[in-house]
């Protein structure tokens, strides 16, 4: 079991460290003074990544450990001595449960960046009671999709105990998906038998009809844009997991959805020294209750890059005792949402309108 303290070196294992998002997570951990351990399934890719990422002490190579979800003993070895684990390796329908099991055996908190709706629902369904009984903390979807939307909705709710509906509109300048995003999407489509999913009337509903098209009035400078309604993301799992909101709807700008659907859209490419793409985003979260509306808006750059400070801030708060609940909990349930968002000011601009 890890021995995290407020001082001294805190060790965080990153499963899928050499993947697109995993690289951002490792860099963010190092920038914040953590000791990352790179964990991955492909020994060759892991060695190459570790060699290209020298450690902070005397140019030492990054600590790297090979592990597979099919080999529980290898996961146990990979998490030995770690204070927490961040799972960045999709598809999470395959990786989440084995890595959570290893985290429970190691007695350390688990965080992932899963955007897969079904995988996140499985985590809540299969591990809530076990994690609570063990006094463990499992935070799924601690990323741009699922985590950020949940934090924005929770912050917008403020002192409301319930709302009639929540809407999260994603205004992306474009979307060049990673190979991991495409693989996860394929798994989700297979699990749904090609149907789409939404959260309405207090539960997940699977439908065969086409998603509605409409306009969304994004804040300036984006302005009103065509969006696909009920373009469901992980928020439809995270938000209702702890907030009394019977209808949670997410939206995506038509251009971004088209790029995601196009198999010829290239992967994201770096445009700055941090490795971020030129993609920008506006996330507009609106909650309504009895005719009253509250809103929280986030603006930033690169949906994959911003997942790293979200996940690492979560780990930092877990290891320093700044959490509200144990068990399987979403971002908004685990943390003070408004304070968490303020802590991300170097990465996000957030505005609350009540």
Residue 289, both tokens: 């209750």
3-class SS of residue 235: helix
What is the dotted CATH code of the domain comprising 11-143+307-338?
3.40.50.720
Tell which wins on pLDDT, 261 or 54: 261
Q: What is the pLDDT of residues 123-174, one digit of tens each?
A: 999 999 999 999 999 999 999 999 999 999 999 999 999 999 999 999 999 9
Strand 35-40: give its sheet, edge to edge.
Answer: 64-66, 35-40, 11-15, 84-87, 110-112, 137-139, 327-328
* Cα–Cα separations (whole angstroms), residue 203 to 149, 197, 200: 18, 10, 6
Residue 13, both tokens: 């294992």
The answer to whether residues 312 and 14 touch, using CB atoms and an 8 Å cutoff, is no
Return the number of other C-beta atoms located less than 10 Å from residue 31's C-beta.
Answer: 13
pLDDT for res 88: 98
Asked if the model's pLDDT at residue 223 lies above 70, the reply is yes
3-class SS of residue 266: coil
**Entry pTM:** 0.95
Greatest pairwise CA separation for the chain in angstroms: 60
Q: What is the pLDDT of residues 81-121, one digit of tens each?
A: 999 999 999 999 999 999 999 999 999 999 999 999 999 99
Domain borders along the chain are 11-143+307-338, 145-302+345-353
Residue 231 CA to residue 253 CA, distance in Å, equals: 9
- For the segment(s) 145-302+345-353, the CATH number from 3.40.50, 3.30.360, 3.30.1150, 3.30.70 is 3.30.360
Q: What is the pLDDT of residues 19-38, one digit of tens each?
A: 999 999 999 999 999 999 99
Spatial CB neighbours of 121, under 8 Å, sequence gap ≥ 6: 204, 237
Q: How far is Cα of residue 250 from the mean position of the Cα atoms in its chain?
A: 15
pLDDT for res 1: 41
Residue 349: is the preceding peptide bond cis (ω within 30°)?
Answer: no
Stretch (H or E) spanning 297: strand 292-301
Would you say the CATH fold of 145-302+345-353 matches that of 11-143+307-338? no
Stretch (H or E) spanning 214: strand 213-217
């Amino acid at each position: 079991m890890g021995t995290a303290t407020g001082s001294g070196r805190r060790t965080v294992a990153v499963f899928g460290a050499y993947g697109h998002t995993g690289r951002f997570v490792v860099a963010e951990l190092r920038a914040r003074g953590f000791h990352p351990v790179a964990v991955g399934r492909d020994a060759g890719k892991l060695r190459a990544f570790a060699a290209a990422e020298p450690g902070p002490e005397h140019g030492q190579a990054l600590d790297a450990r090979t592990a597979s979800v099919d080999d529980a003993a290898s996961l146990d070895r990979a998490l030995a001595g770690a204070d927490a684990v961040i799972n960045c390796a999709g598809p999470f329908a395959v990786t989440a449960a084995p890595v959570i099991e290893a985290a429970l055996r190691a007695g350390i908190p688990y965080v992932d960046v899963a955007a897969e709706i079904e995988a996140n629902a499985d985590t809540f369904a299969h591990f809530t009671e076990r994690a609570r009984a063990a006094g463990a903390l499992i935070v799924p979807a601690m990323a741009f999709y699922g985590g950020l939307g949940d934090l924005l909705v929770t912050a917008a709710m403020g002192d409301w105990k319930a709302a009639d509906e929540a809407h999260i509109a994603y205004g992306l300048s474009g979307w060049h998906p990673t190979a991991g995003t495409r693989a996860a999407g394929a798994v989700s489509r297979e699990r749904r038998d090609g149907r789409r999913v939404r959260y309405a009337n207090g539960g997940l509903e699977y439908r065969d009809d086409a998603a509605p098209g409409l306009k969304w009035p994004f804040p300036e400078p984006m302005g009103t844009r065509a969006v696909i309604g009920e373009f469901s993301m992980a928020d439809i799992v995270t938000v209702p997991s702890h907030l009394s909101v019977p209808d949670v709807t997410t939206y995506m700008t038509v251009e971004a959805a088209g790029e995601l659907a196009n198999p010829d859209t290239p992967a994201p490419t770096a445009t700055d020294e941090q490795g971020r793409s030129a993609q920008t985003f506006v996330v507009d979260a609106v909650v309504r209750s009895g005719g009253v509306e509250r809103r929280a808006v986030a603006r930033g750059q690169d949906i994959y890059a911003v997942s790293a400070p979200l996940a690492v801030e979560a780990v930092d708060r877990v290891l320093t005792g700044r959490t509200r609940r144990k068990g399987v909990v979403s971002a908004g349930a685990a943390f003070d949402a408004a304070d968490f968002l303020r802590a991300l000011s170097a990465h996000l601009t957030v505005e609350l309108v009540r």
